[in-house]
Amino acid sequence: MSEDRSHSAAAIAAAVRAGDEHAEAIARRALDAVARTQPVLNAFVSWDRDVTLSAAAEAPVNGPLAGVPVAVKDNIATPVLTTSCGSRILAGYVSPYEATAARKLREAGAVLVGKTQMDEFAMGSSTEHSAFGPARNPHDVARVPGGSSGGSAVAVAAGVCPIALGSETGGSVRQPAAFCGIVGIKPTYGRVSRFGLVAFASSLDNVGVFGATVDDAALGLEVIAGPDTRHDATSAPGPAPSFGAPHPARHGLRDLAGVVVGKPREYFPDTLDAATRDRCERALDALRARGAVIRDVTLPHTNLAIAAYYIIAPAECSANLARFDGVRYGARIEGDGLRAMYEATRSAGFGPEVTRRVLLGTYVLSAGYCDAYYRKAMQARVRIRADFDVVFASGVHALFTPTTPTPAFRFGEISDPYEMYLSDIFTVTANLAEVPAMSIPIGRVRGLPVGGQLIAARFDEATMLRVARALEAELGAEAAR
């Protein structure tokens, strides 16, 4: 939201490194911003002045994020404040260990200002499924901020901190970034360690980053990226490249010369909100103005994505969440058994959405149904992944799509869970295909922010960020209008 670069993460860290600013003074201002915004926006689940001020006193003053206030989603383990995952089951829980991403932020000099509001166990698109929520959209408090990482998006959009961590299983960083008018990145699966991220669906989960600008989000990603051989066997080997801002000399008016941006037709259906489509067309014009070639492409298995995601994600979640309540998967469930299981799950303290997912997941994995649902969904996933491989092998460097079909909806506006799932229609594909994707602000519709999505080939965050920087620069103030 803030176009004021003096509040950017890089500027704050530079001032601290130069000794012009002190981390404690910055932390105090961030805490004041929490106190001021919390009664209206409810972005945070836990915060504590003493904890944050002592973290500021201990923060290394020479790191890339020296003194930068950050917010962290409440499903990413931190040894201070809570890690309650938006759930009554974990209310007040303090983790004995620290997630790798949180540790890397801290070691880079960042100062944790609070743990943020989220849908329970990251299942949802609005924070309405938080036991402590919801958070509210700073652009219109009658509307949702998106979810599940809504609180982190609000913290950045309201100017509390320039960088925040979220998590992504099917769009939980990109969708709230779009709804709140900020930047949100879901890296390639394996780019960032998942150690300490409370599991939802392990083959889809990623730690993601919010930033007020592309540079802020990229800097946050650069700090948390890289292998974690000790704690996460799925983290990618080899050092992550630099995602920081390119040398100013490389910024030019035709900085996308030679870049081909694909426009996948499945992401621009006839039913797309007309104003959202219009904003997307302007963004595509902005990319052309920077020298990019826009090419119509097809990802033919996109229509399978929501169904595949809402089988695979619940299946994995029913396995992961079994540790909280003992519900088993793999059993044959019929009639009364299903009812008995529903009662058991509810009485364990899960909310209705988590209960629905655990039951659905247990069902699709159960003997007799596994082939019909889970295995089919896995086959669809392979095809969706192959669609991206084909497009990126054909000379396309990045894809541009809307992030969501509509801008932020009102609280209570979507009560049917299946309708809610459709708000993930443009985002779940990247998780299924394990490719990097991000949302950046491309303008407003009826006063509400609209996000454009960029997707790149696996481990090619650098190209995605290059296109994003050019788009952000070309749209300039128009992105905020």
Active centre residues (catalytic): 73, 148, 172
CB 350 within 8 A of CB 358: yes
In total, the chain counts a number of residues equal to 481
CB 147 within 8 A of CB 124: yes
Of 163 and 432, which CB lies nearer to ligand GLN in the complex structure? Answer: 432
CB 463 within 8 A of CB 397: yes
Rounded Cα–Cα distance for residues 113 and 118 (Å): 16
Binding region for ligand GLN (CB under 6 A): 122-125, 148, 167-172, 200, 313, 424
Rounded Cα–Cα distance for residues 178 and 222 (Å): 21
Shortest CA distance to 169 belongs to which of 213, 125, 217?
Answer: 125
Rounded Cα–Cα distance for residues 476 and 379 (Å): 42
Of 73 and 469, which CB lies nearer to ligand GLN in the complex structure? Answer: 73
Rounded Cα–Cα distance for residues 262 and 277 (Å): 16
Of 168 and 255, which CB lies nearer to ligand GLN in the complex structure? Answer: 168
Strands 183-186 and 437-445: antiparallel
Of 207 and 450, which CB lies nearer to ligand GLN in the complex structure? Answer: 207
Of 168 and 215, which CB lies nearer to ligand GLN in the complex structure? Answer: 168
Least CB distance to ligand GLN at residue 107 (A) = 26
Q: Name the residue number minimizing CB distance to ligand GLN.
A: 172
Rounded Cα–Cα distance for residues 410 and 418 (Å): 17
Of 55 and 317, which CB lies nearer to ligand GLN in the complex structure? Answer: 317
Of 185 and 313, which CB lies nearer to ligand GLN in the complex structure? Answer: 313
